[in-house]
């Protein structure tokens, strides 16, 4: 009805903004579905890229932390390892120094041949008899028939012929902690000796029938490691041959058991079990490193017979093995003079001790003169010494092994020359503890294998053995023996435990040398401030302890420093680990004496056991007289019979006619040779 819009004049007018009209540009095309998908994909890709960058940054942070942590582990591990090796080799050096002392003593009194003979025999246990007479003497002393088996004996029984059943019975008995009767020990050792006497100096080994042979390195009296090897690799047999590469005894607490098991295996399978001599198959080292003490402790009244037979057996052990004419296996290594032609011609039974060879005292003692030892005898001795004592080095050349005190260091050039000369492809040796149980050197031409795990401390190293397979590279098998009472250790726990044990051993060295260290520190600290520079501290500690270690790295674990970096040298002796030596209320002189005794305890025990030639655990009057006469000539002092008797009586505190080890230590304390040792240092 109303065609036009009606307006009310009473109401105020309303103003509305005009509606915007959206006009799409003519040139712009509408978004297609495909383009929308590409856009979403691009956004997703950007998000993934950002997330990847975030992940990468996290990985870099974790890797950096891990590498720093691993580097810290490596520094701590290497430091602990260096401590252990320095202390170990320092002990071997001391043993050789003791031997050299007696050699110098011989040279000093060489104008009187019989006095020189007495001096040499202090460390030389072999009989002065020779040939058939010596053989009869040994059989009379060590015959199993001398010892009867008591009816109360509950251990394993051995009779001839010794077979595999006896071998397995011994394994079970030793695992139960049973001790084999001395009668059966002598029986086994005589059977072993009979076989060894017919062997060449170098065992000839072939893998063509058995396809492989297993080489076992140092065991050092560790029955647990031998059991693991037998468990993983199988018991020895004609189909499963073994080469045991020396150092069967010493250091460990079950050396006699390990040696007997290997001996029985060789008796049962004489054509497929091989035993090389190591540097510890030597009575001079047994004096110090535990095997002699173990036999005396376990077999008491029969110890003398066993030790004499062991010493003779050592001399009959082959010095090396040759696998398939191209892999040479020996305990220590080679040198620039190593020659198989010479080695094969050596009468190895002469070397009852490699450190004290029999040519020092010829059968006709009245004609003895050290200066007249022929060069060919010295060259022959060097051949044996180098095979048992040498170590490889990274640089070329061949030089004396001053680190151990015996054998040589040989370089890659010597390896190449000797291998090429004899047409060998590989040298397998032992003699050195390796963290992984093995180590290749000299462009993989020298392989070190060490089979005693946890050698320095629990977690310090793995053990290993190597399987030589026909026409294949050597196969190395690693293992670690752990007692059931020991839980599995993490990497951090293992490194910490090894490091802690190493530091404790080092602190022990500080403790027993406290007075000498304090005296040296005081010389440098003229103002008596109690502080010296780090360079002075490192020099003094290295010189007094005779240990070449990274002292700057170790200082935070051994000593405190002040704000300017100076060393507070007395703080070492306030550590908790040393309080046991400082809390004892003794005078300064008494403390010094105790330190001197403890510092030289190993040396004194070695001297005591060397003088005690019949291994009775006491020094008889005859043994004491021989030493007094020898030392009297060395010092230019003559002792008559009464003086010797009076001296022995003053040492024999309980007046029973013999001198035991405690009386020997007490005599050392009373005489107070501390100043003598300090003057020498």
pLDDT band at 342 (very low <50, low <70, confident <90, very high): very high
pLDDT band at 80 (very low <50, low <70, confident <90, very high): low
pLDDT of residue 379: 85
Asked if residue 335 has pLDDT above 50, the reply is yes
Domain finish residue from 545, 575, 605 = 575
Q: Are 600 and 671 in contact (CB under 8 A)?
A: no
Domain finish residue from 424, 448, 479 = 479
Instruction: Please check whether residue 217 lies inside any domain of the structure.
Output: yes
Shared-domain flag, residues 394 and 510 = no
| Strand duo 398-400 + 408-410: pairing | antiparallel
Shared-domain flag, residues 608 and 664 = yes
Instruction: Please check whether residue 64 lies inside any domain of the structure.
Output: no
Shared-domain flag, residues 550 and 618 = no
Q: Which residues pair with 441 in a beta bridge?
A: 446
Shared-domain flag, residues 467 and 513 = no
Asked if residue 468 has pLDDT above 90, the reply is yes
pLDDT of residue 423: 95
Shared-domain flag, residues 456 and 508 = no
Q: Are 549 and 82 in contact (CB under 8 A)?
A: yes
Asked if residue 394 has pLDDT above 80, the reply is yes
Enclosing domain of residue 258:
126-359+375-479
HSE of 292 in the Cβ direction (CA atoms, 13 Å)? 27
Q: Which of 577, 435, 579 is nearest to 500 (CA)?
A: 577
What single-letter DSSP state applies at residue 371?
Answer: G
pLDDT of residue 108: 43
End-to-end CA distance of the chain: 136
Crossing angle of helices 33-108 and 113-121, in 10° steps, is: 150
pLDDT of residue 671: 44
Shared-domain flag, residues 415 and 470 = yes
Instruction: Please check whether residue 120 lies inside any domain of the structure.
Output: no
Instruction: State how far the Cα of 603 lies from the Cα of 126, in Å rounded to an integer.
Output: 21
CATH of the domain at 570: 1.10.238.10
Asked if residue 317 has pLDDT above 90, the reply is yes
Instruction: Please check whether residue 287 lies inside any domain of the structure.
Output: yes
- Highest mean pLDDT pick, 18-27, 508-517, 582-591: 508-517
Shared-domain flag, residues 340 and 434 = yes
Q: Encoding tokens for residue 94?
A: 């001391």
Q: Which of 280, 283, 302, 308 is catalytic?
A: 280
Give the residue-averaged pLDDT of 397-410.
84
Q: Which helix (H) or strand (E) holds 264?
A: helix 255-268
Asked if residue 91 has pLDDT above 60, the reply is no
Shared-domain flag, residues 569 and 599 = no
pLDDT of residue 330: 97
Residue 578 or residue 383, greater confidence:
383
Give the residue-averaged pLDDT of 488-493.
58
pLDDT more than 70, % of the chain? 66
**Model confidence over 35-66: pLDDT tens digits?**
766 766 777 777 777 777 787 888 888 888 87
pTM of the model: 0.71
Shared-domain flag, residues 640 and 557 = no
List the single range of 7-11, 200-204, 447-451, 553-557 with lowest mean pLDDT: 7-11
Instruction: Please check whether residue 662 lies inside any domain of the structure.
Output: yes
Residue 117 or residue 658, greater confidence:
658
Shared-domain flag, residues 564 and 600 = no
Q: Are 406 and 355 in contact (CB under 8 A)?
A: yes
* Mean confidence (pLDDT) of the chain: 78
Dump the DSSP string for 610-651.
Answer: HH-TT-SSEE-HHHHHHHHHHHHHHHT----HHHHHHHHHHH
Asked if residue 281 has pLDDT above 90, the reply is yes
Residue 647 or residue 225, greater confidence:
225
Instruction: State how far the Cα of 247 lies from the Cα of 244, in Å rounded to an integer.
Output: 9
Residue with tokens 């010596």: 134
Give the residue-averaged pLDDT of 437-454.
95
**Model confidence over 559-587: pLDDT tens digits?**
888 888 888 888 877 754 444 333 434 34
- Return the SS3 of 594: helix
Asked if residue 229 has pLDDT above 70, the reply is yes
pLDDT of residue 62: 85
Shared-domain flag, residues 432 and 526 = no
Instruction: State how far the Cα of 337 lies from the Cα of 424, in Å rounded to an integer.
Output: 16
3-class SS shares of the chain: helix, strand, coil, % to 5: 55, 10, 35
Q: Which of 220, 87, 94, 89 is nearest to 503 (CA)?
A: 87
Instruction: State how far the Cα of 221 lies from the Cα of 556, in Å rounded to an integer.
Output: 36
Instruction: Please check whether residue 580 lies inside any domain of the structure.
Output: no
Instruction: Please check whether residue 92 lies inside any domain of the structure.
Output: no
pLDDT band at 341 (very low <50, low <70, confident <90, very high): very high
Q: Are 430 and 321 in contact (CB under 8 A)?
A: no
Q: Which helix (H) or strand (E) holds 211?
A: none
Q: Which of 283, 264, 286, 284 is nearest to 275 (CA)?
A: 264
- Highest mean pLDDT pick, 259-263, 297-301, 548-552, 594-598: 259-263
Q: Which of 90, 88, 86, 93 is nearest to 406 (CA)?
A: 93
CA distances from 531 to 106, 154, 278, 539 (A): 46, 64, 47, 14
Residue with tokens 């701590």: 76
**Model confidence over 97-152: pLDDT tens digits?**
544 544 444 444 334 444 334 334 434 444 434 566 778 888 888 999 999 999 99
Instruction: State how far the Cα of 276 lies from the Cα of 225, in Å rounded to an integer.
Output: 18
Q: Supply angle C-alpha 495, 496, 501, rounded to 5.
A: 100
H-state helical runs in 290-374: 291-299, 303-316, 340-345
pLDDT band at 267 (very low <50, low <70, confident <90, very high): very high
Q: Encoding tokens for residue 190?
A: 């005589």
pLDDT band at 497 (very low <50, low <70, confident <90, very high): low
- Return the SS3 of 74: helix
H-state helical runs in 349-475: 375-389, 412-422
Q: How many domains does the chain have?
A: 3
Residue with tokens 């050290």: 370
Shared-domain flag, residues 408 and 556 = no
pLDDT of residue 27: 55
Give the residue-averaged pLDDT of 515-525.
87
Give the residue-averaged pLDDT of 528-537.
90
Q: Encoding tokens for residue 207?
A: 């893998």
Q: Encoding tokens for residue 67?
A: 């590498």
Q: Are 533 and 522 in contact (CB under 8 A)?
A: no
CA torsion sign, 527 to 533 to 539 to 544? positive
Instruction: State how far the Cα of 246 lies from the Cα of 406, in Å rounded to an integer.
Output: 16
Q: Would residue 15 show up in a list of annotated catalytic residues for this protein?
A: no
CA distances from 289 to 250, 261, 281, 605 (A): 5, 21, 11, 11
Give the residue-averaged pLDDT of 294-315.
91
List the single range of 189-193, 226-230, 392-396, 494-498 with lowest mean pLDDT: 494-498
Instruction: Please check whether residue 631 lies inside any domain of the structure.
Output: yes
């Amino acid at each position: 009805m109303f065609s036009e819009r009606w307006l009310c004049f009473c109401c105020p007018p309303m103003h509305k903004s005009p509606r915007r009209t959206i006009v799409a540009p003519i040139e712009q095309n509408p978004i297609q579905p495909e383009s929308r998908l590409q856009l979403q994909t691009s956004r997703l890709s950007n998000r993934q890229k950002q997330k990847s960058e975030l992940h990468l940054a996290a990985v870099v942070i974790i890797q950096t932390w891990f590498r720093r942590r691993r580097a810290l582990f490596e520094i701590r591990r290497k430091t602990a390892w260096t401590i252990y090796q320095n202390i170990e080799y320092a002990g071997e050096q001391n043993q050789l120094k003791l031997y050299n002392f007696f050699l110098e003593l011989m040279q000093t009194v060489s104008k009187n041949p019989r006095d020189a003979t007495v001096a040499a025999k202090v460390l030389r246990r072999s009989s002065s008899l020779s040939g058939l007479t010596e053989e009869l003497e040994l059989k009379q002393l060590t015959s199993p028939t001398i010892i009867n088996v008591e009816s109360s004996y509950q251990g394993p029984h051995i009779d001839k012929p010794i077979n595999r059943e006896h071998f397995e019975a011994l394994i079970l008995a030793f695992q139960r902690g049973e001790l084999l009767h001395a009668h059966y020990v002598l029986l086994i050792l005589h059977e072993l000796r009979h076989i060894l006497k017919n062997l060449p100096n170098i065992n000839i080994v072939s893998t063509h029938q058995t396809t492989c042979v297993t080489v076992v390195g140092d065991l050092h009296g560790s029955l647990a490691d031998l059991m693991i090897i037998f468990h993983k690799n199988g018991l020895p047999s004609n189909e499963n041959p073994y080469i045991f590469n020396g150092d069967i005894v010493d250091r460990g607490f079950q050396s006699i058991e390990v040696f007997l098991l290997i001996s029985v295996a060789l008796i049962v399978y004489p054509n497929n079990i091989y035993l090389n001599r190591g540097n510890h198959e030597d009575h001079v080292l047994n004096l110090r490193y535990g095997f002699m003490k173990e036999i005396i402790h376990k077999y008491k009244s029969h110890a003398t017979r066993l030790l004499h037979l062991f010493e003779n057996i050592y001399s009959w052990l082959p010095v090396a093995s040759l696998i398939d004419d191209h892999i040479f296996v020996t305990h220590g290594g080679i040198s620039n003079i190593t020659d198989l032609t010479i080695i094969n011609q050596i009468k190895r039974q002469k070397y009852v001790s490699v450190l004290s060879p029999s040519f020092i005292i010829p059968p006709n003692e009245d004609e003895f003169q050290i200066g007249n030892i022929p060069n060919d005898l010295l060259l022959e001795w060097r051949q044996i010494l180098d095979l048992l004592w040498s170590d490889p080095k990274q640089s070329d050349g061949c030089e004396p092994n001053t680190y151990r005190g015996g054998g040589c260091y040989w370089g890659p050039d010597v390896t190449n020359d000797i291998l090429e000369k004899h047409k060998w492809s590989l040298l397998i040796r032992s003699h050195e503890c390796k963290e992984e149980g093995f180590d290749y050197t000299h462009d993989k031409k020298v392989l070190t294998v060490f089979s005693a795990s946890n050698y320095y401390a629990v977690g310090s190293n793995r053990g290993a053995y190597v399987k030589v397979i026909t026409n294949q590279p050597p196969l190395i098998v690693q293992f670690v023996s752990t007692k059931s009472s020991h839980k599995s250790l993490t990497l951090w726990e293992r490194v910490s435990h090894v490091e802690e044990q190493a530091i404790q051993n080092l602190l022990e060295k500080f403790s027993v040398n406290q007075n000498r260290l304090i005296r040296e520190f005081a010389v440098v600290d003229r103002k008596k401030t109690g502080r010296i520079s780090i360079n002075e501290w490192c020099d003094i500690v290295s010189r007094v302890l005779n240990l070449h270690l990274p002292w700057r790295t170790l200082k935070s674990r051994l000593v405190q420093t002040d704000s300017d970096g100076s060393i507070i040298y007395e703080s070492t002796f306030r550590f908790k680990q040393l309080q046991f030596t400082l809390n004892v209320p003794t005078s300064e002189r008494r403390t010094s004496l105790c330190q001197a005794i403890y510092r030289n305890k190993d040396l004194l025990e070695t001297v005591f056991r060397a003088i005690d030639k019949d291994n009775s655990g006491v020094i008889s009057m005859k043994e004491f007289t021989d030493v007094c006469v020898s030392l009297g000539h060395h010092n230019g002092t003559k002792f008559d019979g009464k003086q010797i008797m009076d001296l022995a009586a003053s040492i024999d505190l309980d007046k029973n006619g013999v001198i035991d080890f405690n009386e020997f230590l007490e005599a050392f304390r009373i005489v107070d040779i501390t100043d003598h040792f300090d003057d020498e240092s």
